């Protein structure tokens, strides 16, 4: 078996069914298996997925242990040489799997591979990222400085929203909605599995940091594009609560990378001020206009 595609479902039957349908339609002749992990959904009996898609492998996790927990359950039964973690709110439109595998094999030092993603309206998602740092935060705060750089220099240094995602790029970390890696790499990871300390959000960055420590390169592949719906909550209180969780995880990852010394304390101060201000602006804009900032 070449590829094991793992999709995690939690109370999103229709969304997940649409995703599975698009995956099966674009597998081609690839030797692949599709593993659906149901994270103890209450919406309906997950057996309904087997009625619709009898070729898939259904794993019932037994409890909602979060994103990493559910994916590790899928990995336990995976037979593929490569693993692809695929969000249930994605739609495949082309032979993305074969194109990704070809690129992976042409670049054997790759640790994690991600691909180009768009929202349903066609706008780009900023999925190739740099790890946060003091210099990155300051440049992002005073963004007229990176805008004075050439696009080539700015895109490589900053990535994220400063990069058009129009070419292949080595990066620090990638969005977990399309997250491909060799299964064998898990034997070198903590606990021989995907680190599951976070219930949700920030796992992709944590895993990429651990993979980089092993000496691999994480790569953004622009040669294929998928749709990532990524609708999120429309409630401002939920969005702000989510951002607090993400900040907490970001700081934990920074402690792992830099320790708890002076660098971490300075970063904490700058990052906390920057994100706190952004959250306040986000709340104010919502109260004044009723619109949520993306």
Query: In order along the chain (294 residues), what is the average pLDDT of each group of 10 residues?
Result: 94 95 95 96 92 96 91 97 97 97 96 97 96 95 92 96 96 97 95 91 94 96 95 63 87 93 95 84 68 59
Strands (E), 31-109: 32-38, 57-60, 82-86, 90-91
Q: What is the dotted CATH code of the domain comprising 3-127+165-228?
A: 3.90.550.10
- What pLDDT score was predicted for residue 137? 95
Strands (E), the chain: 3-9, 32-38, 57-60, 82-86, 90-91, 110-118, 128-129, 169-171, 173-174, 178-182, 217-228
For residue 38, give the nearest of 19, 57, 18 by alpha carbon: 57
- What pLDDT score was predicted for residue 233? 46
Domains of the chain by residue range: 3-127+165-228, 236-289
pTM of the model: 0.92
**SS3 assignment for 220-262:** EEEEEEEEECCCCCCCHHHHHHHHHHHHHHHHHHHHHHHCCCH
Cα torsion angle, 211, 213, 217, 220, sign = positive
Main-chain phi, psi angles of 266, to 5 degrees: -65, -45
Return d(Cα 100, Cα 286) in angstroms, integer.
39
């Amino acid at each position: 078996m070449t590829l094991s595609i793992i999709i995690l479902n939690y109370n999103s039957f229709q969304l997940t069914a649409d995703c599975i349908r698009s995956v099966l339609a674009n597998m081609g002749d690839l030797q692949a298996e599709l593993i659906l992990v149901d994270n103890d959904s209450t919406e309906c009996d997950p057996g309904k997925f087997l009625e619709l898609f009898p070729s898939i492998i259904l794993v019932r996790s037994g409890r909602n242990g979060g994103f990493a927990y559910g994916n590790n359950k899928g990995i336990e039964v995976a037979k593929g040489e490569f693993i692809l973690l695929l969000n249930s709110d994605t739609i495949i439109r082309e032979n993305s799997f074969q194109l990704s595998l070809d690129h992976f094999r042409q670049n054997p030092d790759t640790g994690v591979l991600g691909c180009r993603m768009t929202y349903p309206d066609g706008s780009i998602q900023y999925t190739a990222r740099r790890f946060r740092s003091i210099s990155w935060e300051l440049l992002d705060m005073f963004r007229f400085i990176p805008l004075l750089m050439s696009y080539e220099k700015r895109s490589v240094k900053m990535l994220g929203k400063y990069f058009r995602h129009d070419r292949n790029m080595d990066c620090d970390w990638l969005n977990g909605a399309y997250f491909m890696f060799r299964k064998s790499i898990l034997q070198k990871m903590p606990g021989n599995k995907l680190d599951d300390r976070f219930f949700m959000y920030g796992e992709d960055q944590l895993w990429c940091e651990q993979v980089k420590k092993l000496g691999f390169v994480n790569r953004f592949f622009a040669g294929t594009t998928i749709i990532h719906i990524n609708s999120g909550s429309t409630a401002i209180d939920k969005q702000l609560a989510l951002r607090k969780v993400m900040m907490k995880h970001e700081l934990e990852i920074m402690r792992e990378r830099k320790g708890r010394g002076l660098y971490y304390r300075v970063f904490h101060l700058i990052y906390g001020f920057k994100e706190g201000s952004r959250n306040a602006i986000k709340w104010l804009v919502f109260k004044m206009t009723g619109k949520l900032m993306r």
